[in-house]
Every structure is written in C-alpha cells, then in structure tokens.
C-alpha cells in the first residue's frame, strides 16, 4: 500500500531516522512483539523518526510511553492515527478529546464498565467457547482467528449494546477493513460504513430505547445536556473498535504461543487457578495497540526538538518489550510479578474495557483448555501479521487429535 514517504524536516536529527512502517505486514511465526523487541538490539533509538506514513515519531521505551501518554497538554488525542489523512470524519468519542473536556464524557461511559456489569458479561465467553468448540471439535482443527477469536468478543460486545447477532458479519468486515486496509481508499469507505451504521443505531435507540448500554447513553447528560447525535455516534464507534478487535488480536497471539509451547500450556491445564495471573503476563507479552498523538506546541522532549503538529505514535509493545522494564521480556513467565505492562495504555485514556477484556480472556482459556488441552499450529503454516494501529494474526490454523470415546 502507499505509505506516503516524506523528507525529514529540519527539526529531525539524522541519527534519529529509522525505517518503521506501521502498515508493513510481517510473515513468519507470527511473533510481532518479539520482532518489536528486536528493535532495541538493532540499535533503534528510544524515540526515533520515520519518513513513512507522512513522517512521524515512534516511541521505543517504556519510560517514554508513560511520558507521552500522561502528558495530554503536549500530546493531544485530537489526531490519533498516521498518516493524518486517515483521521475519521466523526472520530471515536470521547477518546479524541483531551482533559478536562474528555474527563466529563469518560465519566458517562465508565459506569458501564463496573465489575458488577462486566464480570457476568465477560463470563459468557465460557459458554460461547463451548458452543464454538462443539461446532468444529470433531474436525480436529480450526482456523482460530475466523472461527473463534473474532466471534467471541464481538458476540459479547453486541449483547452489551443490544445489536442483533445477524449484523455480526457486516460489522466484522467493516472493522477489519478500517483497521487493516489493503488500500487507503478501502479504509475510508469502511470508516464511512461504520459511522453510518453507528449513526443509524443511535437514531433507532433514540426513537425506541431499550435496556442496553447505547439506550442509556442516549439518555445521559453532561453539564445538563443530552449528548449530540455526532457525539453518540463517535462513542458507538469507539465501543465497537475498542471491544471487537483488541480482544480478538490478543486471543490470537496467546493461542499461537500456547500452541507452540506445550510446557507452558500444561502449566495452565494442570493449574487452572493460575490462569487469571497468567492472563496478565500474556497481556504484557502480547500487547497489540499503537496509540497516536499530535504535538500541541514546539517543545524539547527526550533530547529532540518537537514541532507543533508533529505526529507521535506509541506502540504499547514499547513498554512490555523493554528490557529495562522486564528481565528477558520475550520470555513468558507465569510467576513474573507484573505491576504495570502498558497494554491498556496509561494516563487519562487508559482502557475502560480492561476488566471486561481480562474476564473474557480468562474465561475463554479456562473453557478451551478444559476441552482441548493439547493442540498445535498446523505443520508448515507460515503466519501473516496484519499491522496497523492494532496488530493481529491474519489467520491461525490450529490442529488437535480428536479423542474417541
Ligand atoms: C485486550 C483487549 C484490549 C486492549 C489491549 C485495549 C487497549 C486499549 C488502549 C491501549 C487504550 C488507550 C487508547 C489511547 O490512549 O489512545 C484503550 C482505550 C479504550 N478502550 Fe480498550 N482495550 C481492550 C479491550 C477493550 C474492551 C473489551 C472495551 C469495551 C468494550 C474497550 C474500550 C475502551 C475504551 C472505551 C477506551 C477509551 C477510553 C478513553 O478515551 O477514556 N477496550 N484500550
């Protein structure tokens, strides 16, 4: 795809320029995060600049991830994607706002993510996993991304906001084209399609409210006023994108890892009570999001001169894969003490759905490992990692020996 290469502007020192194209696909064993960890070893600076995708800065250290994400005065979420022309007409809301405005709208949403609401919702992943396995177990294999990974979080999210199951395929295609487009044109069309779908859903809920989260948001007030149709549409898009793709992507990387590491998998099979802690280590090892920010003013930052309107991207791998934050970061160690891992971001926009995601991942693993404790990646399979603001395996063919009664 066209990544719009630009000439470095005068504020970029030549020693900070490296190749990094966020949309370049990776082929091999599917370990995108391991590849990212290798950047440190190949001498990529902690904060570098790439001419790809309109030219932008890239964070490559846990410390700098925190510095960027906790300073919304300097690093605004107003534009959060590269190249900047990919910004949606109605951007996800309120993630595109900065404090203090953002704080008021986030408060409206946060009630929907209390443990009382998300625990029973996320736990439905167990029942769904059993249903899906019933459908393909006897085949002795499945294409995990298409047959499990995307279906689970989407089904749960759709129940949360009252979207009928019949819309699942349509939504899946739009989200995938938006986040991992083959061409910029495809992503623009998908953005329009997704926004139209969200707007139509908002209109329906306003006309005939139900008992779902969207209907409640339609009735919520900020500073004594109902949210506008644009704001509600942007919120719906944010909930769709936040809830659908990220969980699916983490599930894919996790299963690719467990399929290739029987000794780690058996630890979880033999001690299912350790799965909740293991989920935290898997989130650290397999972060999937990259967060974009636009610089609000000229400023000195970690030894470079930033200019107003420079774009900065913060891959969340830059924390979990940093040797200064974690010993042997590419190793999965279920006994590792993980206090903070960056996979859910940091600062005012820290993921609202993190608890829901954790419950979904835990419940899925408990259900899957109880039914299919031994599985492997299909022999000879070469995997493709679709890259972009969220990275995910394109497909993951898994196999197992069918137990005969
Ligand atoms: C493993 C799964 C997930 C990952 C890795 C993830 C990651 C993230 C990250 C890194 C951010 C910060 C964005 C930024 O700073 O620009 C974020 C924000 C957000 N996430 Fe998640 N997320 C996950 C699951 C979910 C789920 C299941 C939902 C809800 C259905 C959700 C809803 C949100 C929302 C609403 C925000 C915006 C918060 C704000 O702007 O204040 N996420 N997520």
The verdict on residue 2 lying in a domain is no
Domain count, the chain: 1
129-155 pLDDT tens trace: 999 999 999 999 999 998 999 889 878
Give the Å distance between the CA of 248 and the centre of ligand 1: 13
**pTM flag (> 0.85):** yes
**Number of the ligand 1 atom closest to the C-alpha atom of 358:** 1
The verdict on residue 346 lying in a domain is yes
Mutate to test the pocket of ligand 1, among 353, 359, 388, 391 (most ligand atoms within 8 A of CB): 353
Give the Å distance between the CA of 354 and the centre of ligand 1: 7
- The tokens of 251 are what? 């599930």
The verdict on residue 389 lying in a domain is yes
**Number of the ligand 1 atom closest to the C-alpha atom of 292:** 16
The verdict on residue 11 lying in a domain is no
372-400 pLDDT tens trace: 999 999 999 999 999 888 999 999 999 99
106-127 pLDDT tens trace: 999 888 788 888 899 899 999 9
Give the Å distance between the CA of 239 and the centre of ligand 1: 8
Look up the domain containing 279 and give its range: 20-399
The verdict on residue 14 lying in a domain is no
Active site (annotated) includes residue 351: yes
Active site (annotated) includes residue 180: yes
The verdict on residue 335 lying in a domain is yes
Active site (annotated) includes residue 284: no
The verdict on residue 404 lying in a domain is no
Query: Residue 90: which CATH number?
Result: 1.10.630.10
The verdict on residue 344 lying in a domain is yes
Active site (annotated) includes residue 74: no
- Measured distance CA(349)–CA(185) in Å, rounded: 29
Give the Å distance between the CA of 287 and the centre of ligand 1: 12
Backbone angles phi, psi at 143, to 5 degrees: -95, 100
pLDDT value of residue 403: 84
- The tokens of 217 are what? 């948001």
pLDDT value of residue 405: 62
Which parts of the chain have pLDDT scores under 50?
Answer: 1
Active site (annotated) includes residue 50: no
């Amino acid at each position: 795809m066209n990544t719009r290469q630009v000439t470095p502007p005068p504020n970029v020192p030549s020693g900070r320029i490296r190749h990094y194209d966020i949309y370049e696909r990776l082929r091999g064993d599917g370990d995108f995060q391991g590849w990212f960890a290798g950047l440190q070893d190949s001498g990529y600076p902690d904060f570098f600049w790439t001419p790809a995708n309109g030219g932008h800065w890239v964070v490559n250290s846990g410390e700098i991830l925190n510095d960027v994400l906790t300073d919304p005065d300097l690093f605004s979420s107003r534009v959060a994607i590269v190249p900047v022309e990919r910004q949606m007409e109605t951007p996800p809301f309120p993630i595109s706002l900065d404090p203090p405005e953002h704080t008021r709208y986030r408060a409206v949403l946060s009630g929907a993510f209390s443990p009382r609401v998300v625990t029973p919702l996320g736990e439905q992943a167990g029942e769904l996993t059993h249903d899906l396995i019933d459908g393909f177990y006897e085949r002795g294999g499945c294409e995990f991304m298409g047959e499990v990974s995307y279906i689970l979080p989407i089904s749960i999210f759709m129940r949360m906001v009252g979207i009928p199951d019949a819309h699942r395929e349509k939504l899946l295609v739009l989200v995938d084209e938006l986040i991992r487009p083959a061409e910029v044109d495809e992503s623009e069309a998908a953005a329009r399609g997704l926004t139209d779908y969200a707007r139509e859903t908002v209109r329906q809920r306003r006309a005939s409210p139900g008992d779902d989260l969207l209907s409640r948001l339609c009735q919520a007030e900020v500073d004594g006023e109902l949210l506008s149709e644009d704001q509600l549409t942007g919120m719906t898009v944010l909930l769709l994108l936040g809830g659908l793709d990220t969980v699916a992507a983490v599930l894919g990387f996790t299963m690719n890892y467990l399929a290739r590491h029987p000794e780690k998998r058996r630890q979880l099979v033999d001690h299912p009570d350790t799965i909740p802690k293991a989920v935290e280590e898997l989130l650290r090892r397999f972060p999937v999001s990259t967060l974009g920010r636009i610089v609000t003013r000229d400023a000195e930052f970690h030894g470079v001169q930033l200019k107003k309107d420079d774009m900065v991207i913060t891959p969340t791998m830059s924390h979990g894969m940093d040797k200064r934050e974690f010993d042997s970061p590419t190793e999965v160690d279920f006994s590792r003490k993980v206090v903070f891992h960056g996979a859910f971001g940091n600062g005012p926009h820290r993921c609202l759905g993190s608890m829901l995601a954790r419950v979904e991942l835990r419940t899925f693993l408990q259900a899957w490992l109880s039914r299919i404790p031994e599985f492997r990646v299909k022999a000879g399979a070469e995997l493709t990692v679709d890259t972009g603001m969220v990275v995910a395996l394109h497909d993951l063919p898994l196999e197992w020996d069918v137990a005969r009664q």
